[in-house]
Structure 1
């Protein structure tokens, strides 16, 4: 799946935390903003977010496929969280919408 396909899939699934802005940062692969205020998913790397999740694209794909648990990724350093941790916890339900 490409990042553009992920954005479309997440938009269709309404995959965002209501009222919050959460950024998925994939390093060299860029970023996606899950904007729960505007109810949209965009490739926005500039708008300030309440929470930023930093993860490699490969690890993200494993998480989205259910092969890598989010908590395991966090504990092993594959997933880093900056900002409000509660938003990151709510993303578990968001990921379930993508399966």
Structure 2
């Protein structure tokens, strides 16, 4: 597991201590993937099935976690890719904004 993924897992565990009701996946380009589900947060495979997948570069993902990148703006400008229901991605975004 890359240091970036390990740090992201740690940061997401603090934001989502109870996990997420659905299976969500964050793919950080050239680094790997993170899975968030009812069991918590963990590093996962890029091919792990999920209800929603958010993909971004390391810089964009760090900005999302740090609050310097707005998720909707990142999506609208193509910096954040979405595969799955928009409503579920928005729920995840709200949970991360805590």
| Global fold match (TM > 0.5) | yes
Q: TM-score range by the shorter chain?
A: 0.7 to 0.9
Correspondence for 2:20? 17
Distance (whole Å) between structure 2 residues aligned to residue 90 and residue 43 of structure 1: 21
CA RMSD of aligned residues (A): 1.8
When normalised by structure 2's length, the TM-score is 0.83
Say if 1:17 and 1:87, in contact at 8 Å, map to a contact too.
Answer: no
Q: Deviations over 1:44-92 (max 9, x none)?
A: 1143100000111111111111111000000000001001221110122
Report the secondary structure of 2:16's partner residue.
coil
* Residue 27 (1) aligns with residue 29 (2): yes
Correspondence for 2:9? 7
Where does 1:1-99 land on structure 2 (aligned, <5 Å)? Answer: 2-14=4-16, 16-18=19-21, 20-36=22-38, 38=39, 40-45=40-45, 46-97=47-98
Which stretch of structure 1 is more off in the superposition, 2-11 or 79-88? 2-11
Structure 2 unaligned blocks of 5 or more:
none
Distance 1:65 1:13, change over 3 A: closer
Aligned length: 94
Report the secondary structure of 1:89's partner residue.
helix
Say if 2:25 and 2:52, in contact at 8 Å, map to a contact too.
Answer: yes
